Structure 1
Amino acid sequence: MTSSRVASSLLLRTAAVFTGAALLTGCAAGGPAAAAGTPHVGPSAQAASATAGGARADRDDPATEGTNLAAVTRLFSAAFADPDSAEAQAAAAVSIAKDAVTHGGNAETGPVGLLAQFAAAHKSVPGAQVVITHTAADGDLVAVHYQITADPDDERTGLAAADVFRLAGGKIVERWAFEQPVAQGKAASGNTNSMFSDLYKPATPSPAPTETQEEKNRVFAVDAYDTLFKDRDVSILDRAFDPNYLQHNPVAPNGTAALKQFFGGGASFPPTASTVSLADGDLVWTLSQAVGATSDDPYTALDIFRVDGGLIREHWDVVPAATAG
């Protein structure tokens, strides 16, 4: 399904992502194992999905993908502003299975888990509003990248967050939650890009990717991620990345030179790999864990890559504080 921007009662702003975050802020994080494939869901994620009653879905079913995305965005609209309200409770009960599995966040199962996550966000950011910057729907997965802030006009406030949901029969049966504070001030790297805005502008605009191209992009980006972070093969930077790719990780500058320097400097951190991934439009989303992780182990980061013309052009990520060493 082609990437959508949420424009209902939720605030909207454009934005995008790559995994240099796990690289430069999550170096000490531990995570899972997996290789690029179709569909790309690692063993731990498959086990968790089975526990939640989830089932793999056709990645070439835009009607169901659209329905799933609408269900998730309606839930945000109904539940985020006041998680304790009757409206929020009813929306969560309708949208989330009672035994829905949660990875990350507060780790509570079922409808109460998401409501507790939203309530915690309000405690962290008084007067919080949610600004959805990117969404995706692919197969039975829906992803939402958003800012939690009291000032929707300021991208450098509040929290950066991303949730990925697996749906079955119209209900959420599994959820992955990622959250980190928005970086304040000027980054030491000199990168002044926000964690949210879309910056890439192709020299020649092209039509929206077909479902077939989206899948090719997904496999391409996941393979690039695993080659770099699991296999530690830095040559992938010359083959799969735009040398001037745009970086939204607050501690990493634009371009591939910083990544080459990082890996070439003998940095030591556990190898990670993508275990869950989806693609929509020109964006590929990947959730990573340390190689060998189980379904109970933490996820190290959520990364978003913009793929255009056979290269990764832009990157955003959300790295939970617990895994950012």
Structure 2
Amino acid sequence: MSPFTPGITRATALVAGAALVGVLVVAAPANASPTGAPASTATAVDRQDVGAEEVNACLIRTLFATTFTDPDSPFARAIAGQLVAPDAVTHGSGSASGPEGLLTQFAADRDRIPGAQAVIKHPASDGDLVAVHWQIAPDPSDERRGDAAVDLFRLRDGKIVEHWSLDQAIPTGTPASGNTNTMFSDLRRPSRPTAPPTEQQEEKNRLFAVSAYDTLFRDKDVSILDRAFDPAYLQHNSVAPNGTAALKQFFSSGVQFPAQQSVISLSDGDIVWTFSQAVGAKPDDPLLASDLFRVDGGLIREHWDVVSAG
């Protein structure tokens, strides 16, 4: 379970984050071997080490809180130098390695959306992976402006060693589906309070959601919608309405698209995250999309996504 606070901005976390850096970089425990890697390179990792997950989450929270607002400043460069390994891989064509790769991305985000703030909506920490679903927001009070993004980090020995990023413009106007919810909102309200899932249940949820995703988008077996999804599941993709009927119609419409599959995944709380590539893609090919699935009571109940524009 991660200690993120949704909606973090520099103003709310700068002081605490800066104070943490000196402690956490020294005290961060070593993680086990990489997790959630593409199938060709996947190895075992300890997904039950809650303490390591909390430290990793704090490091990423500190990174966003102290570097996004002014990524070219000496202060931001100093913090990034502490938190990002010199040879860290930033995936994407032409991306620089090390701290420069990440700071360059943040600078590009701010050039694209002047005055933007980083507003974290959904965070996750699982094994050696930390993911954030966030808004690149010109106005943090308005979820319908700016970009939606998902960034994924792999950490080792208290340093970021690998980084992926996806973003898309937030669609303007009324969604075609008529949904009034945003790309970030949380709509699921269980009929009765439930305890947070255990680490063991999180792992079961991860395997369940990844299997459902691959069955649908790799194998194109639409029957999984009747077995793994709530028929009225809540949809945050602005061009699709709630429920499974829209997906069934999409698959039966004859639209052709390349088969894709989850190549990296993690689970925190009741949300499972998948990161997909086309079937047969090389490990370092760009990610196509990130999907978030809320799993409750053995069914997928809610869905968010960020689809790469590239």
Q: Which of residues 260, 267, 278 is equivalent to 2:255? A: 267
**CA–CA distance in 2 between the matches of 1:285 and 1:4?**
16
**Contact kept? 1:162, 1:302, Cα under 8 Å:** yes
SS of residue matched to 1:227: helix
SS of residue matched to 1:321: coil
Length-normalised TM-score, structure 1: 0.85
For residue 119 of structure 1, report the CA deviation from its aligned partner.
0.4
What is the match of residue 180 of structure 1? 168
What is the match of residue 37 of structure 2? 41
**CA–CA distance in 1 between the matches of 2:256 and 2:289?**
17
Q: Give the root-mean-square deviation of aligned CA atoms.
A: 1.9
**CA–CA distance in 2 between the matches of 1:254 and 1:11?**
35
For residue 5 of structure 1, report the CA deviation from its aligned partner.
2.7
**Contact kept? 1:3, 1:280, Cα under 8 Å:** no
For residue 10 of structure 1, report the CA deviation from its aligned partner.
4.3
Q: Which of residues 206, 226, 237 is equivalent to 1:218? A: 206
**Contact kept? 1:105, 1:117, Cα under 8 Å:** no
Amino acid of the structure 1 residue aligned with 2:178: G
**Contact kept? 1:129, 1:152, Cα under 8 Å:** yes
Amino acid of the structure 2 residue aligned with 1:184: T
SS of residue matched to 1:174: strand
Q: Which of residues 221, 226, 235 is equivalent to 1:238? A: 226
Q: How does 1:85-124 map to 2 (within 5 A)?
A: 85-104=73-92, 107-124=95-112
- Describe the superposition over 1:151-186 as per-residue Cα deviations: whole angstroms up to 9, x where unpaired: 111000001011010000000001110010011001
For residue 298 of structure 1, report the CA deviation from its aligned partner.
1.5
What is the match of residue 33 of structure 1? none
Q: Which of residues 67, 82, 88 is equivalent to 1:79? A: 67
C-alpha change, 1:249 and 1:265, in structure 2 (3 Å) is same
What is the match of residue 300 of structure 2? 312
Name the count of aligned residue pairs.
Answer: 289
**Contact kept? 1:11, 1:132, Cα under 8 Å:** no
SS of residue matched to 1:212: helix
**CA–CA distance in 2 between the matches of 1:10 and 1:256?**
39
What is the match of residue 25 of structure 2? none
Q: Where in structure 2 are there 5+ consecutive unaligned residues?
A: 13-33
Tell which deviates more after alignment, 99-108 or 281-290.
Answer: 99-108
What is the match of residue 5 of structure 1? 5
C-alpha change, 1:311 and 1:105, in structure 2 (3 Å) is farther
For residue 41 of structure 1, report the CA deviation from its aligned partner.
3.0
- Larger RCO (CA under 8 A, 6+ residues apart): 1
**Contact kept? 1:305, 1:315, Cα under 8 Å:** yes
**CA–CA distance in 2 between the matches of 1:3 and 1:127?**
27
**CA–CA distance in 2 between the matches of 1:279 and 1:160?**
20
1:300 correspondence with 2:288: yes
- Describe the superposition over 1:254-285 as per-residue Cα deviations: whole angstroms up to 9, x where unpaired: 10000000001111000000000000000000
SS of residue matched to 2:88: strand
Q: Which of residues 190, 195, 217 is equivalent to 2:183? A: 195
SS of residue matched to 2:267: strand
**Contact kept? 2:35, 2:128, Cα under 8 Å:** no
Instruction: Give the ranges of 4+ consecutive aligned residues of structure 1 lying more than 6 Å apart after TM superposition.
Output: none
Task: Report percent identity of matched pairs.
Answer: 60
